[in-house]
Structure 1
Amino acid sequence: MPKSQVRKKKVYTPPTDLRPSSTAAAKKPSPLWLPVTAVALIVVGILWLVVYYLSDQQYPVESWRYWNLAVGFGSMVASLILLARWR
């Protein structure tokens, strides 16, 4: 049986308007404080929630009641926002 011919495919080159610009690759890396602050916010948020639950909802601030949950989870969300900007 005869062997079929292999077709050569053209190499794909994206259009020039879709190529990433050289300025995007030249952006500076993140400063050192950014990951340090993000990790600190995660730790503070977790510790806030752990203290809140283990103290039978009397600490860190008893008068805030369930807003203590918002503080704990809010600090963790803030750390995720910082980590999204990390390069």
Structure 2
Amino acid sequence: MPESKPRRRPAKAPVQTPSSKTQQPNAVWFLPLMVTLMLLGLVWIITYYISDGKFPIPDIHNWNIGIGFAIALAGFMMTTRWRS
């Protein structure tokens, strides 16, 4: 009985190493700024609720909640870029 030919395996793609730019850690100020933005947004919203709308900016009413969330969101978005 004739012997069958072995199957050819597909060539493996070369492993791409991250560039040197992505391997560098963040600047020293990055982590403190990230945490500060998240906490500042939280404090902004809590201040608005505790003061019954009199602080931080009384004339914009519920937009204070949006400002607080935007500040906190900026901090959370920075977490996607954080490298140690």
> What TM-score does the superposition give when structure 1 sets the normalisation length?
0.73
**Which of 21, 27, 42 pairs up with 2:38?**
42
Pair 1:15 & 2:16 matched: no
Asked whether the 8 Å contact 1:34–1:83 carries over to 2, the reply is no
1:24 is displaced (CA, Å) by 5.4
Aligned residues: percent identity?
26
1:22 is displaced (CA, Å) by 4.9
1:14 is displaced (CA, Å) by 4.6
C-alpha RMSD over aligned residues: 2.0
Structure 1 unaligned regions, length at least 5? 1-12
1:61 is displaced (CA, Å) by 0.3
Residue identity opposite 1:47 in structure 2: V
Give the Cα–Cα distance (whole angstroms) in 2 for the partners of residues 28 and 69 of structure 1.
Answer: 36
**Which of 57, 60, 63 pairs up with 1:64?**
60
Residue identity opposite 1:65 in structure 2: H
Structure 2 unaligned regions, length at least 5? 1-10
Stretches (4+) displaced over 4 A: none
